[in-house]
Amino acid sequence: MLANAIQRPSPNFGVRRNGLKPSLIVLHYTAMDSAASALARLCDATSEVSAHYLITGRGEAFQLVAEDQRAWHAGQGEWHGLDDINSRSIGIELDNRGNHPFSEPQMASLERLLQDIMNRWHILPSGVIGHSDIAPGRKVDPGPRFDWARLARLNLAGAGSSFDIGATPSPDQFSVAAQAAGFTANVDIDTLLMSTRLRYAPWRHGPLCAADMDFCHRS
């Protein structure tokens, strides 16, 4: 846990299944009006949702579930062909409605927490992913305002891969490249394109183009 994390235990957790240990960190935004509202929901037994950590806009970090336990944050999803993401991951909620920038204190706190978790569980930068990565079309968090490139520069998220074919790819070529990058959930091509852009190029719109084969963070 982060050294200065505030303990706020949630009843919503269980045992990680099949002896799995964390190999992923999944980032979310709360999509609620305040951190207090998000904390109340994540700690409400009737909500049946939780995360391991919540970071407020002021940079305060709350630990809700012990890292060795299975929090209920990811739902149905898939990454690199693997399911039961809850058993494979640590979930971090960020106090953000999804339509405004993430604050500097919040990002700085997240960076410290990520480094701490990655060191403790030997999680690679490529294992730091968004909720939208594992559940394309169903989830969009942490959303287009989240600065993935900043994390990549600090080696706290994967830098992606480039699949340069020099021309507009076919849907099949794009799908194969996206799956190689980890996006293996069974969705249609438009949903897949939306999800990869949300992660790597949220400014890009329009039909599939050559740049969509560049699964890299750009600063």
* Three-point CA angle 185, 51, 117, nearest 5°: 90
Q: Which of 60, 78, 93, 104 is catalytic?
A: 93
List 76's β-bridge partners, or say none.
none
Residue of 152, 115, 109 whose CA lies nearest to 130: 152
Q: Specify whether 104 is catalytic.
A: no
State the pairing for strand pair 214-216/13-15.
unpaired
CB 65 within 8 A of CB 27: no
Does residue 142 have a cis bond before it (omega within 30 degrees)?
yes
Residues annotated as part of the active site: 93
